[in-house]
Amino acid sequence: MIQVRGLTKAYGPTKAVDNLTFDVRPGIVTGFLGPNGAGKSTTMRMILGLDRPTAGTATINGKKYTELHQPLQHVGALLDAKWVHPNRSARSHLRWMAASNGIPTKRVDEVLELVGLTAVAKKKAGGFSLGMSQRLGLAATLLGDPEVLLFDEPVNGLDPEGIRWIRLFMQRLAAEGRTVMVSSHMLSEMAQTAEHLIVIGKGQLIADTSVQEFVDRASGATVKIRTPQLDTLRTALTSQGLTVREDGTGESSLLVVGTTTDAVGEIAAANRITVHELAAQRGSLEEAFMKLTGDSVEYHGAGFNTEGGNN
């Protein structure tokens, strides 16, 4: 488990991270989200002992990273896939890391096979594409078979097959009981990968919740109901104090805001209204993220309306 308590990092009068407190629990993939400049990388660097906090603590299974003996056997981290010496081969790079942490040499070939780099194990890392570098970085995180894993933008440079592979791989690692923390700007991918979210903006905590709760918090629970008795249904719903609006699709359906499918279905049944469709409607993670972090974006680009003019 990763525990962050009152974590703060100040550069003069500016706080890059401001009194953050959260836990990253084992057994699930936790997404770490925020706009550019939110303090995500600084937070991860403090967890890994690369930056010293101005205040607060970050511990891994109860210890600071700097207190861990042979840390690669406890924590694996991928923060920068291109930090490898360009003249070292993939195998040489991993053998050096293994030797520094008392890891058997045979583990090097095991992780190279796991990430699909066996065929290029003897090639210099300087000639690797970004996707290959990401795979080598992933191999390094797995080298010590650690209980805790941190990834910063792990799917950068990967093709669709590679993105799907790493998603399933991270979920498998979490299912084994490991602690997995992933920072990414690819929100559609995070919606499929993570179960829990830590969301920050301007160095402060915005949300510490499940993915579904985060989306519902932004969009609210909405139910779509389709029926040939539209007017009767509308009257029945509004008489119960529910907010109803047109679906806008041209179908004989309504959207009911702030309720559940059970509640809407029971009202329809009580009024003997025929129902052809009853379904919960939820927004996307991207929509929720934009709505809840809008005030925390440091730089805004010019917007455009649907006709191409500036807003």
Give a yes or no: residue 57 inside a domain.
yes
Average pLDDT over residues 127-150: 91
Position 260 confidence tier, pLDDT thresholds 50, 70, 90: confident
pLDDT tens digits, one per residue of 54-110: 999 999 999 999 999 999 999 999 988 777 888 899 999 999 999 999 999 999 999
- Residue numbers of the domain that contains 58: 2-216
Write the CB contacts of 236 (distance below 8 Å, at least 6 apart in sequence).
267, 268, 270, 271, 273
**Predicted pLDDT of residue 168:** 92
Position 296 confidence tier, pLDDT thresholds 50, 70, 90: low
Query: The domain that contains 235 carries what CATH number?
Result: 3.30.70.100
Same domain flag for 180 and 39: yes
Of 236, 197, 190, residue with least CA distance to 213: 197
**Predicted pLDDT of residue 176:** 95
**Predicted pLDDT of residue 306:** 35
Higher pLDDT, 298 or 181: 181
User: Tokens representing 260?
Assistant: 């559940």
Same domain flag for 151 and 268: no
Average pLDDT over residues 281-304: 66
Residue with tokens 């303090």: 39
Same domain flag for 182 and 254: no
Query: How many residues are present in the chain?
Result: 311
Evaluate if residue 221 carries a pLDDT over 90. no
Same domain flag for 152 and 254: no
217 vs 211: CA distance, rounded Å: 10
Same domain flag for 15 and 148: yes
**Predicted pLDDT of residue 220:** 64
Distance, first Cα to last Cα, the chain: 45
**Predicted pLDDT of residue 250:** 66
The whole-model pTM stands at 0.77
Same domain flag for 63 and 209: yes
Same domain flag for 32 and 94: yes
Q: How many domains does the chain have?
A: 2
Same domain flag for 184 and 86: yes
**Predicted pLDDT of residue 297:** 54
Same domain flag for 89 and 152: yes
Give a yes or no: residue 206 inside a domain.
yes
Position 311 confidence tier, pLDDT thresholds 50, 70, 90: very low
Same domain flag for 245 and 276: yes
Average pLDDT over residues 182-198: 90
Same domain flag for 118 and 253: no
**Predicted pLDDT of residue 310:** 43
184 vs 182: CA distance, rounded Å: 6
Position 304 confidence tier, pLDDT thresholds 50, 70, 90: very low
Same domain flag for 31 and 172: yes
Domain end, chosen from 166, 194, 216, is at: 216
